[in-house]
Every structure is written in C-alpha cells, then in structure tokens.
Structure 1
C-alpha cells in the first residue's frame, strides 16, 4: 500500500471577485463564449461562497481541461420543448451543466407561474456543481424548488453489491423563510465524491464510514487508495434505494445516462456524458398565501430551534444555516483556498496566460 500523502492544510483567502474573474477568464480562454464563461463563473463562485467547496473553483482545472479537449460543446444550442402545460424537456446539446440547468430552472419558474407547479427534465447536460444553487432559484419567485441529478460518475454500488453502478445522485429542496431560503442540499452517499477529491488533493486522512474497499469491505481512510473504494450510502439500504429512484427520475425519464451508461467525467475529458437532471418549481400562492406560508415556516423553525437539546449540543442547526453563515463570512473575509489547490489554479492561469488569483 502506498504511504499516505503528506497533508497540506494551510489556507489562504481570496476575494470572491478575484475567484470569479479567474474562473471566467480561464473558461473563456479554454473556448467558452465570454457570456457563458461569466455565467458559469458566477454559479461556481456562489458554490464557494455558500460552502460547497468541492463544486466551486476547485472544479476549474477539470472544467478547463474538458473544454479544451472538446468534451463540452463550447457553443451549445440548448433547446426547450414544452411537452405539456406543466412539463418541459431541456436538451443541453452537451453544454456545460451550469448553463443547461440554469435554463431548466428558469423554464420551471416560467411554467409554474402559469400552472402552479412545473417539472422540467434535462438531458444532454453535464456536471452542474452544487445542487442547492438550482433548488434555490425558484425561492426568489415565491416558489418551492427541488433539484436532482444523475451524478457524473458512479461511486456507489446497489446495496449488497460491489460494482460501481450508482452515483452520489444529489437531492436539494429549498423553501422560502423570513431569514432567506431554507435549503437542504445532500448527496445520497455519506459524503460527496468531491469531498473525497478534496481530501486526496490535500493528503488528508478520511474517517471510517465514508469509503469501503470493493473487494474486502474494509474501511478505506487513505485518500490515495480511494480508487479502490465504494462510497457508502446514507442510511444504509435506504440511501442506495433513494439514489436508484432519483437516477430513474433524472436519468431514465429524460433519456439521459444511468447505471452502466454513465461516463466518469473525472477520468474522461472527451466522451459525451449525457447527464440527466430535473428541476421542479411549486408556486406557494397556489396552496396558501406566500406571507402566511413564510410566517408559518418561521413559527415552526422557531419551535425547532427552541427545543430541548441533547447533552453537549449547544445550538440546533437547520438546513440553510451554514449556507447563510458561510456566505456572510466569506463575502467579508474571502474564499479559503488550500495551498495545494492554489498550485493547481496557478498552473491553469499560466496555461491560459491570465493573471493568477492572488494577482487580481
């Protein structure tokens, strides 16, 4: 077994504006139209600001490499087909996932204004970053938002199996509250594969319960050995079943990839992934007045926060708390970048002859 990589834990902070401009410049230099590069950069930076570090600038080297290699369609013709009053299907034409799913969310919002609820499926897409970004979009329009996807690589087995046939297939749900969107954003595995990649980059050991060896079932804690592992589902067989059902809805229902058909975009920069996603928007006012809904949610949230606590628990934390706190802190203090990631970002900047992040 290889010796564990020496941990690299030192961090520097960069202003969000510097991170966003670096992403936009690199993606544009790799071949994306400038407007598209800026759209993707804004969404990636928002992922960093809200604490989804594995889906922000961390992904820039991979996205730039895939753009340069032709794995993404640089100038996609994203098509929206309204299939019924409350449904639509978006074909992303192999464009960058952020562009495709943002269009899907906008379509869901538009349809839900007319019909009260809308379900928009996606095919021909790609990895789109943080799930919470897209579930949150309808909230700004007085709606509840849901988002799910077939992950862009398989890192989990069906319960009891040892083949990589299921992804981390995320689920995000967002509802309006008086303090801002309450957002649940979760993978169907105990941790996302992006978290494994972060630990691998920095040489950080992993706790038991994240990964097991495909052959022996033994825990893997050395990130250098993660390629031999299976990610464990949340809640045992329940998480595996949830990943399966979300895969059927986001993949099979849309004519997108699922199971053995999925392409591992971490290892393949050129093949079309045909990633599937869906966005649902629900107009709150079709069920109860928006003000009343928000007031009632706030009342229940207050009850939950004031509940009696287990010994050793100081604060009850609810979905969305960390996103809001993280965003406020990082807007003020900058986005934390590990030194190992800075090295990679500086290499990408040099490759495309753009200023590095700490020269902006």
Structure 2
C-alpha cells in the first residue's frame, strides 16, 4: 500500500495528543510538537513523528522525565550549562539555542552546553533558530545508540553524532547543513524499513564488513546486534578515511565530554536499572555584526550562493542547490500536499494511541 499524505496540522495534533497522554507538561509538549512536526515538514522523516515509537519505549523503561523544565546550572556573560532534567531533548535544545543567540546578540558569541538530556530530533531545527534570529548557529550532540564502526574496527563504538550549521542570508534562505557523522543517520534505516525499501550499499555493514542492502536485516544490525553497524562518513571501517570517525569524535567531545555527559559504550556497560541516558548537546551562536557592519555578511553570503547557483548543471532539470534548499523545497511541497505516512508507521501510531489513550487523528 502507498503512503497516505497527512496535512501538517494533523501531524502536529497527533504528536501533541500522544505527548500529553504520556503526561508531558503542556508547555514542554508544545515545544516538542513544533520541533518534531517541523522536522517532518523539512522531509527528515527519520526524526519526526516516527520517533514516537522509540520515545514510548524509553518512557516505559523509566528513563524519561516529561515534567521538568530546563534549568540553568551555571552561567557567564557568554556561556551557560543547562540541565535537561532527563527529559526529551527538544524543549531544552530550543531553550539552549535561544539562550546562545541572546548571549551572541549582547556579547558577540554565546555557547551553551546541555547535559542530562535525551534524543533531540534533527540538529538542523535548532541551527535554523539561530539563522532566523540573524546569528550563525552550530549544533552538535552525543547519542544514545552505539552504531558507528570505527576505522579498522569490526564492532560499533560511536553513535551517529550529528552536527548542524546555519548562517543567515538576505535575499536567499539560510544556508543550513545538517548531517550525521556516519554515512547516513541510524534512524534513516528505520525509515527504509518502514517503507520496505532496499538500503543503498555501504550504509550498513555486517560483522564481516560486507554491505547489507535488506532494510529489515540492516535494522536488526543497527539496533539489535553487537557487531556490524553504520560506516563512518567518507569510507568503510576496514578500508577508508579516518576523517568521518575523527569528526564523530570531535562532535562527541563538544556535545558529550565538554558538558559532562555520558559516552554511550561506557554508559551501556555501567548504568544501573533505569538511570537516565544523560545525553549531551552543544549550541553556539555568533553575531556577524561583531565582525562586519550590519548586513555585509548576509550580502556576501548571498553573492556566494548566487555563484553556486550559476554553476552549470549536469542535468538542466536539476539545478545546483546549496545546503538547506532541498529541505526548504520539500517543506513547501509538504505544506501543500501533506506529509507521507507509510502504512507500517500508521499502524505503529495507532497502536501507541491505543496503549496511551491518545486520540488518533491521522486519518
């Protein structure tokens, strides 16, 4: 069966209904709903409404607290450390990015670390907050999963450890780079499985380092098995670049070690019972006006984007794009035509509604 296209407002309502049925504080649920629904609008199906299955599992395991608001633990003029209260990462991440921008507008730069958090969805959603407010934004995060096989290794050690960067332009939409440090995000394997699509070779490798293209088998390797996993960006674990592996380490150092959050392989070995996952995040905002007169940075970025757009295209029907534009174009399409929900995902959402008592509203 083909996917059904669901209007954006119904996706928002469905996410909100479930979060509130789980007992999430209304203000935190509203922030989380907006972040998750925006993620689906941008076409990042791996990190939007489909994450509710994982969040339900974590809630029942007792590692999520859905009632505590973010709390600033320490602060200087341009830095802060925020306690996420063991809640979902969306509310604390919106809070932290906005706090970083506030500092940047006052002091030129703002850096906010978060600890005691959980999965925060798509990193690009928070980088876009900075760009909308006229700042350059950088976001990194540690992860709960252990999915990346390091170069020369056969077993996963690191997570997908995302990084996002956004910069405001004037005539153009912001430049937004949002990427995993593996060849693809782990949750994209879930999306391929839900849609019963084969995986591109090289995304998932088995314990012998061989590519796996069956999405069900790939899902099992990434989520359930101690060997095999996702290849690092830029190469395979056995023969390939150290750069993707090194980039993942850099991201964890900022989003995990610096803020005092856990490293997933150590945490998985040492945690007791339903201890929180203690995922960390890192947010930085820069105010361009401390380097350039107001508007000059944005004008120059527009000129750079114009130059890239003017590059001759290998296929005239597919002009050259810059990072962020595919998501912005998909956002417009989905506002007009709806967000695709495959039958397998719809069945999962119906089951979550039945278990939680939330009203089902997707169809």
TM-score if structure 1 supplies the norm length? 0.91
Choose from 241, 247, 250 the match for 1:242: 247
Choose from 250, 272, 275 the match for 2:276: 272
CA apart distance, 1:27? 0.9
The residue aligned with 1:316 is 320
CA apart distance, 1:47? 0.1
Unaligned runs of 5+ in 2: 222-227, 236-241
For 2:116 and 2:276, how far apart are their aligned partners in 1?
Answer: 8
CA apart distance, 1:30? 0.9
TM-score if structure 2 supplies the norm length? 0.90
Question: Counterparts of 1:154-233 in structure 2 under 5 Å?
Answer: 154-177=146-169, 178-214=171-207, 216-226=208-218, 227-228=220-221, 229-233=228-232
**How many equivalent residue pairs?**
347
Unaligned runs of 5+ in 1: 1-8
SS at match of 1:358: coil
Moved more, 152-161 or 182-191: 152-161
For 2:326 and 2:316, how far apart are their aligned partners in 1?
Answer: 19
CA apart distance, 1:259? 4.5
SS at match of 1:330: helix
The residue aligned with 1:355 is 359
CA apart distance, 1:179? 2.3
Show structure 1 runs of 4+ deviating over 6 A: none
The residue aligned with 2:239 is none
C-alpha distance after superposition, 1:176-223 (max 9, x if no partner)? 112222100000111100111112233321121101112x11111112
CA apart distance, 1:296? 1.1
The residue aligned with 2:90 is 98
SS at match of 1:254: coil
Choose from 36, 42, 47 the match for 1:44: 36
SS at match of 2:46: helix
For 1:203 and 1:263, how far apart are their aligned partners in 2?
Answer: 30
Choose from 52, 55, 60 the match for 1:63: 55
The reply on whether 1:258 has 2:251 as its aligned counterpart is no
For 1:136 and 1:320, how far apart are their aligned partners in 2?
Answer: 10
CA apart distance, 1:290? 3.6
Decide whether aligned partners of structure 1 residues 15 and 310 sit closer, same or farther in structure 2, where only a CA change above 3 A counts: closer
Question: Counterparts of 1:264-303 in structure 2 under 5 Å?
Answer: 270-303=274-307
For 1:101 and 1:253, how far apart are their aligned partners in 2?
Answer: 16
Decide whether aligned partners of structure 1 residues 270 and 180 sit closer, same or farther in structure 2, where only a CA change above 3 A counts: farther
The residue aligned with 1:133 is 125
The residue aligned with 1:4 is none
The residue aligned with 1:342 is 346
Alpha-carbon contact 2:82-2:114 (below 8 Å) kept: yes
CA apart distance, 1:329? 0.9
Alpha-carbon contact 2:14-2:362 (below 8 Å) kept: no
For 1:290 and 1:247, how far apart are their aligned partners in 2?
Answer: 34
Moved more, 294-303 or 218-227: 218-227
CA apart distance, 1:316? 0.6
Alpha-carbon contact 1:27-1:64 (below 8 Å) kept: no
SS at match of 1:357: coil
Alpha-carbon contact 1:150-1:250 (below 8 Å) kept: yes
CA apart distance, 1:358? 3.0
The reply on whether 1:119 has 2:111 as its aligned counterpart is yes
SS at match of 2:247: helix
Alpha-carbon contact 2:145-2:264 (below 8 Å) kept: no
C-alpha distance after superposition, 1:276-298 (max 9, x if no partner)? 11000001111113422111111
Decide whether aligned partners of structure 1 residues 175 and 132 sit closer, same or farther in structure 2, where only a CA change above 3 A counts: same
Moved more, 184-193 or 306-315: 306-315
Moved more, 81-90 or 217-226: 81-90
CA apart distance, 1:157? 2.1
